[in-house]
Structure 1
């Protein structure tokens, strides 16, 4: 009986998280409350609060889902299973851009990135986790690029693609553009090919700034 109870609780928790992700993507996180999540799956407010005592706790669980998704996609690269060179970068980008699942996290990450609280609050640690994840992704991708500083620009580029997908401005999945994106970032002298000389100069001076993507909406 105890095992069944734990299994039921896990199923209910998964339903709550899936419902919250869907509502956030449809309405935006600012418009979603725990009551909204409960109504969407036909549960009482008390039943949802039995699993998540606050909105911040629910967001923390959703962030854990996002972290696990990104980690799983980058795991082959972290283990060195993709090798090195253009093919390795292409495979890593294809994994990050494959399907719709990863785009579902965009609204949550954008909300937490934009959160700026003067005093310590429940959301501040979540924002710090997002920034740590961005830095980890940047470091993982940097080993495949001709200039490590390019990784910040690539992360910002990936964020823009995923944001467009989340807003339905782009077709489902971007994995088909992984090869072109890899070629773009493996240009000469550590800068993408085809950029005007003035733009290359600006990038050469600013590209190593890790704050480049921190507050990207």
Structure 2
């Protein structure tokens, strides 16, 4: 009998993860079982459980891949201190939108975000992890935006682009949108500041008029 090496195990584990990810993109998270994952790559369910003790552990490993991809995109910016430069927002947007890798995680992350459960289940802890990751990303973009309050809106905008790409409704090469997005949100920040200034001036004029004999 052939002996299985650590490298063999790593290759098999990667095949299982790739199969699960592909099926989730095609069918949706709730329509994918361990049996489906195993069947798609010619394995038995027991063989899959030899690498992942449960469906939740398999999904957790997929979520780890998503978290690692997002972290890797933004890490170089942090290391270079790009967050303090004038082009930091555009660089961060390019990092998120470059290539096709992040779009492959959309189906899993979306399903976890939409998950609702009245009692604790295998998906609830994963959903909490996603929510923490989203908040960390929002804080990161808030530090890059002239108007931090726009960070949530920008995340929704980015998620829409990645989702459209995942459904093949948007072309590859989304990083070409980074410059336009950066200009848009810098412009929105300037507009918000101008409106705030106008409101302040209007209030001041009202006070002056009220206090004038």
Same fold (TM over 0.5): yes
Change (3 A) 1:15 1:79: same
Residues 73, 36 of structure 1: CA spacing in aligned structure 2 closer, same or farther, 3 A cutoff?
A: same
| Offset at residue 79 of structure 1 (A) | 2.9
**Residues 49 and 188 of structure 1: is their aligned pair in 2 closer, same or farther, counting only changes over 3 Å?**
closer
Q: Which residue of 1 aligns with 2:186?
A: 186
Is 2:78 the partner of 1:78? yes
CA shift in 2, pair 1:33/1:191, >3 Å:
farther
| Alignment-derived partner of residue 113 in structure 2 | 113
Match runs of 1:1-217 below 5 Å: 5-187=5-187, 189-190=189-190
Structure 2 distance, partners of 1:95, 1:101, is 11
Deviation track 1:77-124 (CA, whole Å, cap 9, x = no partner) reads 333432534421111101101111100000000110011111122211
Q: Deviations over 1:126-146 (max 9, x none)?
A: 000000000111111111101
Matches of 2:159 and 2:61, distance apart in 1? 21
Q: Distance in 2 between matches of 1:13 and 1:145?
A: 40
Whether the aligned pair in 1 keeps the contact of 2:83 and 2:143 (CA below 8 Å) is no
CA distance in 2, matches of 1:73, 1:40: 30
Structure 1 stretches lacking a partner, 5+ long? 202-217
Which 5+ residue runs of structure 2 have no aligned equivalent? 200-213
Q: Please give the per-residue CA displacement for 1:143-170, whole angstroms capped at 9, x wherever unaligned.
A: 1101111111111110010011111111
Check 1:95–1:192 CA distance in 2 against 1; reply closer, same or farther (3 A cut). farther
TM superposition shift of 1:30: 2.2
Q: Is the 8 A contact 1:70 1:102 kept in 2?
A: yes
- The higher radius of gyration belongs to 2
More helix by share: 2
Between the two proteins, the alignment pairs up a number of residues equal to 193
**CA distance in structure 2 between the partners assigned to 1:46 and 1:189 by the alignment:** 55
3-state SS, counterpart of residue 186 of structure 1:
helix
Please report how far the alpha carbon of residue 191 of structure 1 lies from its aligned counterpart in structure 2 after TM superposition: 5.1
